[in-house]
Amino acid sequence: MMCAMTLVRQYARSVLSAKTLLVYSFLLGFLLYMVTPFLIIFFNSFGKGWYGMRWLPQEWTLNWYQWAIEVADIPEIMKNTLVIAGIAVVISTLIALPTGWALGRRHIPGKELLTALILLPRMIPAITFALGVAKIFYGLHLVDTFLGVALAHVALAAPYAILVLSATFESLDERVLEASAVCGASPAQGFFYVILPLILPGILSSIIFTFTTSYNEFTMTLMTYGPHTVTLPVRTYLAVGEGYWEVSSAMAVILIIPSLFILFLIQRQLQPEKLVGGFKGV
Amino acid sequence: MSDYMIEFVNVTKRYGDIVANEHITLQIKRGELMTLLGPSGCGKTTALRCLTGHNHPDEGRIFIDGQDVTDLPTYKRNLGMVFQNFALFPHMTAFENVEFPLRIRGLSQSERREKVVEALKLVRLEGYGSHFPRQLSGGQQQRIGLARALVYRPSVLLLDEPLSNLDAKLREEMRFEIKDLQVRLGITAVYVTHDQEEALALSDRVAIMNKGRIEQVGTPEEIYERPGSQFVADFIGLSNFLEGTVTAVEGETTYLAVDNLSLGLATTAGARVGQRVLAFVRPNEVELAAPGTMSGPEVLEGVVEKMTYLGDKVDYRLRLGDRLMLRVQSGGTVRFKAGERVAVRLPMERCRVIGGGKA
Ligand SMILES: Nc1ncnc2c1ncn2[C@@H]1O[C@H](COP(=O)(O)OP(=O)(O)OP(=O)(O)O)[C@@H](O)[C@H]1O
Ligand SMILES: [Mg+2]
């Protein structure tokens, strides 16, 4: 009897470990699936003569980066990209602060419908939306201006910002603000000592989301850019079209540097769960 | 210097059609703990918010320490307040929470440090300064709330159901702790609760509120022993109401016809024959005995309809005559079972008349 029990237990344990193994192999497979393209681009950007079935390039070189910087004018294009992202962040935040406040703290009839409408630009296919925007912008002479491209990005970035900020403002406890007043804090002191520290993480995550949205945006830029407003994603795409695989790989690597930097910032300063929590199921 | 620390003069506050406070007039003495007691929605919080300045009364004035504060913003009123949901600043440690009012008042760092340490000691949480609110239990959070409200020695301490988010045992413990602190510091306090036991245990005086009005103000003993209205008698403790017509007044005894029963009461001034009277008696003041063992004008007979054993006491529901139901609680063992006949004595001096009865 005793023996049978032990056997059963051992069997259970082996099944368990098989399960664990399965989970790990799935995770590993997924990780490979995600990382492999990065690795290929990375090697491609530093390698020479990497064709056919080789595991690694024959030779290592920095030529492609030199080309990207000197011939394709990447520093200028990076500047465009960052300026456009900056403008998009400022405009999105300015729109999202009052809108998020209204959605998060007031009882507005038809709130659900409003939220759905705000999300509309994110729901319909980007190319459809971008076409419409382009048509309007041609009429307004906004094509090939920093403001124009940034505004096109705002349509996609602001909904994120509004959702994050309205969740942030919604979680502000009225009674905590009342407590600060009873403690003797004037409205201004209450704002700086209590409200601001409580909403700062939300504002930061909203800024990060809008920034990355604009920085990574491709479709909306493609329909609104011009010679003066080429951004890094678009330039990378164009380089592929021109047949320079290695140079576009170098650009692609440069493209991810700021994203990595932001990821590092998020890891250090904010808990990612908190940022995602801000979405409340969206 | 005014005799009163806090005065409500004819304060009315409406929310649309709802009159949350109606002509509230109330004086609270220096160093006194006054409780606002009443059922949910009777306007206790509203009255307190008028005092803090979070509400502006539609009519009437409010004075703190002789000064008219009706139009003064909250932050200039020098109040301390403890909140039902604690309302600590979640981004500050316990120490920083208590320090906050001192920082606002521009005290130097060494002064702040000294006072915060003292306040944390006062609420017996010396070692917890570096904890964040979410790392503290409900009782500890509320003690930090208390320390934050007291650290700057405000002129008045306000407490809005400070214990209702705590479990029963802790609630009772902290009740005495709060009372002890209030007495030791000699601070005037306004305490809001709908828990009558808490109110009786803590208060110097109690203001009973009902539907936005103050029904009665008095010491715990006064409102328990001499309730001024049926509402108060009903709300404070358990009561049996006896409504009837005076049939005769003979010296010390007034005879009352309640339904088809005749009951003797101790005579109160001005009892007239034919007058409608409402009297009440507490369930634990009624005596029970075997039928036929007691006699007198205050003795009736009845049947036990329901008996409930409650451990330290037994609860009986009796039927007297055709309709009159009487609730009786007596200590000790079960003496009567459902269906048994009992003699019921309603001691004359314990059957007290409320006002003139209902019209
Ligand atoms: N901001 C408000 N807007 C509209 N009506 C309100 C508001 N605040 C309170 N009321 C109403 O005013 C009345 C008194 O409310 P109040 O909060 O003062 O009651 P309370 O005695 O504190 O009750 P509780 O014991 O439940 O806390 C209630 O009928 C309530 O619905
Ligand atoms: Mg209340």
pLDDT at A277 over 50: no
Domain ranges of chain A: 2-61, 72-277
CA-based nearest residue to A241, from A264, A222, A213, A269: A222
Beta-ladder partners of B301: B343
The tens-digit pLDDT sequence of chain B (359 residues) is 568 999 999 999 999 999 999 999 999 999 999 999 999 999 999 999 999 999 999 999 999 999 999 999 999 999 999 999 999 999 999 999 999 999 999 999 999 999 999 999 999 999 999 999 999 999 999 999 999 999 999 999 999 999 988 888 888 888 998 999 999 999 999 999 999 999 999 999 999 999 999 999 999 999 998 898 999 999 998 899 988 898 888 888 888 888 878 888 887 767 788 888 888 999 999 999 888 888 888 888 899 999 998 888 899 999 988 888 999 998 878 788 888 999 999 888 888 888 644 33
Closest-CA distance, A110 to chain B, in angstroms, reads 23
Return the residue matching tokens 């802790």.
B170
| Higher-confidence position of A11 and B308 | B308
The Å distance, Cα B209 to ligand 1 centre, comes to 13
Return the residue matching tokens 């507005």.
A108
The C-alpha atoms of residue B268 and residue B357 are separated, in whole angstroms, by: 13
Residue B132 DSSP class = -
The C-alpha atoms of residue B200 and residue A160 are separated, in whole angstroms, by: 54
The C-alpha atoms of residue A45 and residue A61 are separated, in whole angstroms, by: 8
The C-alpha atoms of residue A115 and residue B163 are separated, in whole angstroms, by: 39
List chain B residues with CB under 8 Å of A184.
Answer: 75-76, 78, 101, 104-105, 152
> A72-277, superfamily in CATH?
MetI-like (1.10.3720.10)
User: In whole angstroms, how large is the CA radius of gyration of chain B?
Assistant: 25
Mean pLDDT of chain A: 84
pLDDT at B95: 96
Number of CB atoms found within 10 A of residue A70's CB: 10
pLDDT at B56: 95
pLDDT at A271: 53
The C-alpha atoms of residue A142 and residue A12 are separated, in whole angstroms, by: 67
pLDDT at B39: 93
At A259, the pLDDT band (50, 70, 90 cuts) reads confident
pTM given for the model: 0.77
DSSP string for residues in B198-236: HHHHH-SEEEEEETTEEEEEE-HHHHHHS-SSHHHHHHS
Ligand 1 binding pocket (C-beta < 6 A) is: B 15, 18, 20, 38, 40-46, 194
pLDDT at A14: 67
Q: Is the dihedral of CA A42, A46, A52, A53 positive or negative?
A: negative
Closest-CA distance, B101 to chain A, in angstroms, reads 5
Domains of chain B: 4-227 (3.40.50.300), 240-356 (2.40.50.100)
pLDDT at B358: 37
- Locate the DSSP E strands across chain B: 4-15, 18-29, 33-37, 59-64, 67-68, 79-82, 156-160, 188-193, 205-210, 213-218, 240-250, 253-258, 261-266, 276-281, 287-289, 299-309, 313-320, 324-331, 341-345, 352-354
The Å distance, Cα A186 to ligand 1 centre, comes to 26
Give the closest of B75, B85, B91 to A175, CB-based.
B85
| Higher-confidence position of B100 and A238 | B100
Number of CB atoms found within 10 A of residue B119's CB: 24
The Å distance, Cα B119 to ligand 2 centre, comes to 27
pLDDT at A4: 66
Contact partners, residue A173, CB within 8 Å, separation at least 6: B85, B87, B90
The mean pLDDT value for A10-35 works out to 82
With CB atoms and an 8 Å threshold, state whether A176 touches B74: no
pLDDT at B14: 96
pLDDT at B214: 96
Element counts in chain B: helices (H) and strands (E): 8, 20
What pLDDT digit, counting tens, does each position of B225-252 carry? 889 899 999 999 889 998 889 888 888 8
The mean pLDDT value for A191-212 works out to 91
List chain B residues with CB under 8 Å of A183.
Answer: 75, 100-101, 104, 148, 152
b (16+ CB within 10 A) / e for A75-91: eebbebbbebbebbbeb
Predicted-complex ipTM score? 0.82
Q: Chain A within 8 Å of B101 (Cβ-Cβ)?
A: yes
What pLDDT digit, counting tens, does each position of A98-115 carry? 999 988 888 888 888 888
What are the φ/ψ torsions at residue B29 (nearest 5 degrees)? -80, 160
Name the amino acid, one letter, at B147: A
The C-alpha atoms of residue B116 and residue B100 are separated, in whole angstroms, by: 10
What pLDDT digit, counting tens, does each position of A38-55 carry? 888 888 888 877 766 667
Q: Compare all CA atoms of chain B with the CA of A189 and give the residue at the minimum distance.
A: B104
The C-alpha atoms of residue B330 and residue B312 are separated, in whole angstroms, by: 9
With CB atoms and an 8 Å threshold, state whether B101 touches A184: yes
pLDDT at B359: 34
At A70, the pLDDT band (50, 70, 90 cuts) reads confident
Contact partners, residue B74, CB within 8 Å, separation at least 6: A178, A181, A182, B52, B53, B54
The Å distance, Cα B48 to ligand 2 centre, comes to 9
pLDDT at A272 over 60: no
